Amino acid sequence: MSTVTCRHCGLPFRVRRVEPGRDYFCCTGCSLLARVPTDAQGNFPVNAPLISALTVAFLYFNQLLAWAVSVLVAREGKLSLSNRLGWAAAGAALIVWVAVAVLQAKSGASRAKDMLVAVVTLALLVASIRTLPPSGSLCAAANAVFIAWSFRGALRRRASADVRPR
Ligand SMILES: [Zn+2]
């Protein structure tokens, strides 16, 4: 095992083998952000990595929206509509998971821990859908963990951007 540092956030981590000339990223988020360059004015191009990140955010937003509306209409006694929305939220949850998994696989930053978190969150998703009706809160939690984990370096970067020069 050798230690490399994430090209985007600077976090050191260990890899099995260092390939010369290759850029290493600690997570999917750093790999994506590194491919969305920001210029001196803070502008960035609308490119494929940015669009794929925004697509995940949009899908997750729809998952949460369907779940929230299903809870609201259940309170009004519209149980069959609530049930359908609950299933829509569960379907959206699976799509979000697949989208994040694809992003991870394509980022080249996926390592053993990422695989583990992917498997655990998928198991949690399947378990929360099997509660019949699906548990919207558990589905939301599972994907929140998966997304936050995949983009953890991006969050760290924001927290330390003031102290660490680019
Ligand atoms: Zn990083």
Q: pLDDT digit string (tens) for 62-72?
A: 999 999 999 99
CB atoms within 10 A of CB 160: 11
Q: How far is the CA of 11 from the centre of ligand 1 (A)?
A: 6
Q: How far is the CA of 158 from the centre of ligand 1 (A)?
A: 11
Q: How far is the CA of 36 from the centre of ligand 1 (A)?
A: 14
- Among 7-16, 85-94, 126-135, 156-165, which range has the highest average pLDDT? 85-94
Count of the separate structural domains present in the chain: 1
Q: How far is the CA of 120 from the centre of ligand 1 (A)?
A: 22
Q: How far is the CA of 47 from the centre of ligand 1 (A)?
A: 20
Q: Is the dihedral of CA 145, 147, 152, 154 positive or negative?
A: negative
Q: What is the pLDDT of residue 38?
A: 79
Q: How far is the CA of 113 from the centre of ligand 1 (A)?
A: 14
Q: Is 166 a member of any domain?
A: no
Closest CA to 8 of 161, 148, 113: 161
Q: Strand pairing of 12-15 and 2-5?
A: antiparallel
Q: How far is the CA of 106 from the centre of ligand 1 (A)?
A: 16
What does the pLDDT look like over 22-32, one tens digit per residue? Answer: 999 999 999 99
Q: What is the pLDDT of residue 46?
A: 86
Print the domain residue range for 63.
2-160
Residue 10 burial (10 A CB sphere; 0-12, 13-18, 19+): middle
Q: What is the pLDDT of residue 153?
A: 87
Q: Is 39 a member of any domain?
A: yes
Q: Is 165 a member of any domain?
A: no
Q: How far is the CA of 42 from the centre of ligand 1 (A)?
A: 20
Rounded to whole angstroms, the Cα distance separating 130 from 127 reads: 5
Task: Flag whether pLDDT at 155 surpasses 90.
Answer: no
- Its pTM stands at 0.88
Mean pLDDT of the chain: 90
- Among 29-38, 105-114, 115-124, which range has the highest average pLDDT? 115-124
Task: Flag whether pLDDT at 159 surpasses 80.
Answer: no
Q: Is 88 a member of any domain?
A: yes
Q: How far is the CA of 116 from the centre of ligand 1 (A)?
A: 18
Rounded to whole angstroms, the Cα distance separating 91 from 78 reads: 20
Higher pLDDT, 40 or 160: 40
